[in-house]
Amino acid sequence: MSLSVGIVGLPNAGKSTLFNAMTQAGAAVGNYPFTTIEPNTGVVPVPDTRLDRLAALFQPPKVIPATVTFTDIAGLVRGASRGEGLGNRFLGHIREADATALVVRAFEDPDVTHVEGGVDPVRDIDVLELELQLADLETVTKRLERTEKSARLQKEKEPELIALLRGVQEHLDQGRPVRTMTLTAEEQSMLREFWLLTGKPLMVVVNVEESLAGEPVLDEIVQRARLAGGDAIAVSARIENDIAELDAADRASFLHDLDLEEPGLYRVARSAYGLLRLITFFTAGETEVRAWNLREGETALDAAASIHTDIARGFIRAEVADAEELLDAGSYAVLRERGKQRLEGRDYVMRDGDVIHVRFNV
């Protein structure tokens, strides 16, 4: 499953530094606007101790983690919704992402300019959200005008779509993002074709001073993020980039010196995973242990399709167990003796932590 999080922010907020730390992709970093023009994309493994423990149990030659794709999108500026700073082009890149990570700067550095003249992460969230809301408002208003005109000319009513677009228009006019609306599943489906920017799940990543790498996010930033329908995480992109370049032993020592239990990027990756409403299931044996992702609510047949389309096509049944129960048992044989492995059909709704073995006909 290919799902992506778009990393968005004002120029010089630390987006590319954060992206490089997460992906080791070597995206260009510079003290000037629009260092990034075309979006850079990288695949980031999601840390999961269950995968590590299953690998230790089976000791296979291959261990493959679940992943999330991150896209480093060029910096937005005031007026992006009107085309400022290549705004239309960059907004188009955001539309292609499944969720949004707003990177805001909370560090002072006289050598790194700030396009707004000074450091104020709450203001920066306001600027970014406003541009995304204005872009959405333009999209909705144009479609509403066309739909109303078409309904009049053809004497065909589209009352549900028109009412929904009017509601979204009013919501955006009040300065509120679409993700904070209460929408039915049918309404969400109707809006999907518009690729609304403020309808995407949101995470605010606060790029802090090195000395604050392990500290909680300031309350005012958290409150502003929640007002926008998201949450906030604090990391130091510069520190994370340094950590990512170390080998395992030096990394552990460096984290200990900083009084950190784990790199902040682990929290970012896990938060992005949750942002996309994903769960993890596993396949585990002597040849390979692998973590896979699924959307919440998807079934055993969907899991089989993730592994291979032929497995889904010939699906007979799934043998399912909880990863913690398999780890406690120490083997599939003991797991079955304890009656902890279940037979499930194609409509079984997968749970986070399920270990699955699919029986199928070729």
pLDDT in tens, 77-90: 666 555 554 445 55
How many other CB atoms are there within 10 angstroms of residue 347's CB atom? Answer: 8
> Quick one: which H or E segment has residue 244?
helix 237-244
Cα distance between residue 329 and residue 180, in whole Å: 44
> Quick one: CATH architecture of 4-275?
3-Layer(aba) Sandwich (3.40)
Looking at residue 25, its pLDDT comes to 43
Looking at residue 86, its pLDDT comes to 43
How many other CB atoms are there within 10 angstroms of residue 290's CB atom? Answer: 19
In the chain, what are the domain boundaries? 4-275, 297-360
Through-space distance between the first and last CA atoms of the chain, rounded to whole angstroms: 23
Instruction: Identify residue 354 by its one-letter amino acid code.
Output: D
Pick the CATH number of 297-360 from 3.40.50.300, 3.10.20.30, 3.40.50.720, 3.65.10.10: 3.10.20.30
Per DSSP, 299 falls in state B
Looking at residue 325, its pLDDT comes to 97
Looking at residue 248, its pLDDT comes to 81
Spans of the chain, pLDDT less than 50: 25-37, 85-87
Looking at residue 13, its pLDDT comes to 87
